[in-house]
Amino acid sequence: MPVPATASPTTAPAPATTPATVRRLPRAVAAAGAVLATVCVLLPLPASATGGPAAVPATVERSQAHRTVLQVRPAYVDPASDAATAARTARAEGRPGDARLLEKVAAQSTARWLGPADGTARVRAYAQAAVAAGTTPVVVTYAIPDRDCGSHSGGGIATPAEYRAWVDAVAAGLAGARAVVVVEPDALLHLDRCGDRGARLAMLRYSVDAYAAVGAEVYLDGASSNSFGWSARHLADIAQRLRDAGVDRAAGFAVNTSNFQTGAQEVAYGERLSALVGGAGFVVDTSRNGNGPLAGPNGTVWCNPEGRALGNPPRATGTGPHVADLWLKTPGRSDGTCNGGPAAGRFWEAYLLGLAARAAW
């Protein structure tokens, strides 16, 4: 089933002090933080009868080895993905060159974005298709009130109570699937830009607990090196936001979601951030970062920048807190009506063909 357009990935604007069409590049990369002797691991708890969290998940001390379910069961490759559907159409229309590029994308796993229209039955159908294939469903929840602060991907569920009910419905659909869940991209980045801070943090904590309670591996969104910056103050800020949102009860956090920063940049950022939040694991979105970011006259172009490329294929890395590269953003889904793109979340085949053609693999 296709991802609803209103629930598809788009790179959110930078904070209010930066022009809305750009994100600024850091001027220097500081050395990685000190290696921690111990970190925390999530212990999944059984779901309650209502589908909500049965209890607050516990954290326990563990050895320095970081683990992810993706080491055992790779991420699900959806045969009905945008790229797979477009590849079949290209073959039928006699466009073999385009078909080969689209098939290259279709062979990789891409996260499924869940929005307000996704209820228990729809989520369960997707999750169980992944389980039947011996793989892991990877989903991104994207329905929080004041989503994207009303920008290109604005929308979301109206009230906190309705949002919690939606989270319970999604959790019920994921029960037993050992899913990987990335919770609400940009929700922490936008924490002080729109909506109620306390209410948003409470909703994120509720999400972490609900998904962990049904056995999911949960990652909060930790923005990117280009979103928050590298100063001690900026790193401490996002680390505190992650703690306030319940990262101690999650598997960790995600970086570079729907962004274009290089893998090396994001791994360095993630390692420094991990050291500030108890050594939590993190995943990197590599869906479109093969050529890194595009520098514009006012900073980094975040919305449908030209000349970008697919990054590393999804994989479990097995390297310290950096547990996996994932394609969280759906390659080929527009960031918004900018740089020639259609509305946010709409499939844009021409852009996807460019990403695939410029990939280094």
Q: Which CATH number belongs to the domain containing residue 267 in this structure? A: 3.20.20.40
pLDDT digits (tens, 9 = 90+) for 58-78: 443 433 469 999 999 999 999
How much is the pLDDT for 48?
36
Mean pLDDT lowest for which of 104-118, 173-187, 220-234, 299-313? 220-234
Sign of CA dihedral 289, 254, 139, 343: negative
Residue 9 lies in a domain: no
**pLDDT above 60 (res 123):** yes
Confidence tier at 34 by pLDDT (50, 70, 90): very low
How much is the pLDDT for 153?
78
Residue 258 lies in a domain: yes
How much is the pLDDT for 239?
98
**pLDDT above 70 (res 151):** yes
Give me the helices (H) in the chain, please: 82-92, 96-106, 120-132, 160-174, 197-213, 225-228, 232-244, 263-276, 349-357
Give SS3 for 200. Answer: helix
**pLDDT above 70 (res 202):** yes
How much is the pLDDT for 318?
84
Residue 14 lies in a domain: no
Residue 23 lies in a domain: no
Asked if 82 contacts 333 with a C-beta cutoff of 8 angstroms, the reply is yes
How much is the pLDDT for 65?
63
How much is the pLDDT for 223?
95
**pLDDT above 50 (res 52):** no
Asked if 14 contacts 190 with a C-beta cutoff of 8 angstroms, the reply is no
For residues 34-43, average pLDDT: 32
Burial of 334 (C-beta count, 10 Å sphere; 0-12/13-18/19+): buried
Count Cβ neighbours within 10 Å for each residue of 288-298 and write b for 16 or more, e otherwise. Answer: bbbbbbbeeee
**pLDDT above 90 (res 221):** yes
For 145, the domain range is 28-357
Residue 125 lies in a domain: yes
Residue 5 lies in a domain: no
How many domains are there within the chain?
A: 1
* Maximal C-alpha separation, the chain: 57
Residue 15 lies in a domain: no
Give catalytic status of residue 148 as yes or no: yes
For residues 329-348, average pLDDT: 96
How much is the pLDDT for 152?
72
Which uninterrupted H or E stretch holds 324? Answer: strand 322-326
Residue 4 lies in a domain: no
Q: Which of 82, 118, 146, 148 is catalytic?
A: 148
Count Cβ neighbours within 10 Å for each residue of 38-59 and write b for 16 or more, e otherwise. Answer: ebbbbebbebeeebbbbeebeb
**Separation between Cα atoms, residue 248 and residue 16, nearest integer Å:** 29
DSSP code, position 256: S
Confidence tier at 352 by pLDDT (50, 70, 90): very high
Greater confidence (34 vs 243) lies with 243
pTM greater than 0.75 (yes/no): yes
Report the percentage of the chain scoring pLDDT > 70.
82
